[in-house]
Amino acid sequence: MADISIIGAGSWGTALALLLYKNGHCVTVWSIMEAEIEMLKNEREHKDKLPGVKLPSDMEFTTDLQAAVTGKDVLVLAVPSPYTRSTSHNMASYVHEGQIIVNVAKGIEENTLLTLSQIIEEEIPQAQVAVLSGPSHAEEVGRGIPTTIVVGAKKKATAEYLQNIFMNEVFRVYISPDVLGIELGAALKNVVALAAGIADGLGYGDNTKAALITRGITEIGRLGVAMGGKLETFCGLTGIGDLIVTCASMHSRNRRAGILIGQGYTMEQAMSEVKMVVEGVYSAKAAMGLAKKYDTQLPIIEQVNAILFEGQPADEAVRNLMLRDKKIENPLLPWEDED
């Protein structure tokens, strides 16, 4: 049995807390918001973000960050991506040498272009940082619906340790050393999911969705490989797998925000309506910063940025994508009439 704290009591943190508790571990859940902790203590349910998922009477809840961090075997960092740096900074003095931190949020920091694990390593250099990602809506994990996911870590022993902690009969865990590829797939798929939602909001169909998913993973893979990620990662659960579920499901806050934008809402109005952090909005500008840094074309993500931040009409963005210069789908494939 491991002693584990979940740092962040949103839908994903709450779902993972229940999963780990059912796996036999001692679980504490921390939130900075007193009202949220009081609700969890009194109701044994996150009424706002994970309704219907009941939490056990002996699960611990606290707003005391020092108590939540000190001496734990594993810390699961589940705060929204815009708060990863500040939360890590506040945790740092309580984290002991070699303590394992598993980041489960998805994003890229706009001003530094760092992934979330890189931010944690910068703020808490004494920690062992791993990531957990894949096609996994909290609403389904909380209900015990079969799910597959990937743990990424630099050391195989760390990945295997976490695999054993998280895995059960409804939550299958694979391991991978490609932490960078996992995080890039996780962050950039949220931007493509905004595009998929916008297409839905415009009334487009399955053909459009399939095009966005397949060309979207091409963009993600192109940038990811340029940055040092592995192509196999983008073809797996944390790449195409996560992209499919995020583009297709109404559980996806990014898709839901995109639908509203396609229907004429502004980005701010859509985020307010969804009532949760729409992480693709925060990753979109960072993605274009990375594209410039690595001299990589990201046409779908570029058009999403134009819609979000430049006031470009969504239907005009679609025309821009459809009327781009003619391309070969895979330039590496040879033609018979070429020498």
Query: Catalytic site residues?
Result: 189
The CA distance from 140 to 269, in Å, is 27
Among candidate residues 33, 298, 316, 16, the one with its CA nearest the CA of residue 142? 16
Check: CB of residue 223 under 8 Å from CB of residue 296.
Answer: yes
CA distance 76 to 276: 20
- Which contacts qualify for 32-35: CB closer than 8 Å, 24 or more apart? 32/63, 32/65, 32/87, 33/9, 33/63, 34/63
Instruction: Kindly give the pairing relationship between strand 128-133 and strand 60-62.
Output: unpaired
- For residues 264 and 251, is the Cβ–Cβ distance under 8 A? no
Residue 210, token pair as written in the block: 């399939």
Cα(223)–Cα(114) distance, rounded to whole angstroms? Answer: 14
Length of the chain: 339
Give the pairing of strands 100-103 and 3-7: unpaired
For tokens 């490989």, the residue is: 225
Q: Which two tokens stand for residue 279?
A: 């992480």
Please say whether the beta carbons of 39 and 46 come within 8 A: yes
> How many Cα atoms within 13 Å fall on the side-chain side of residue 174?
16
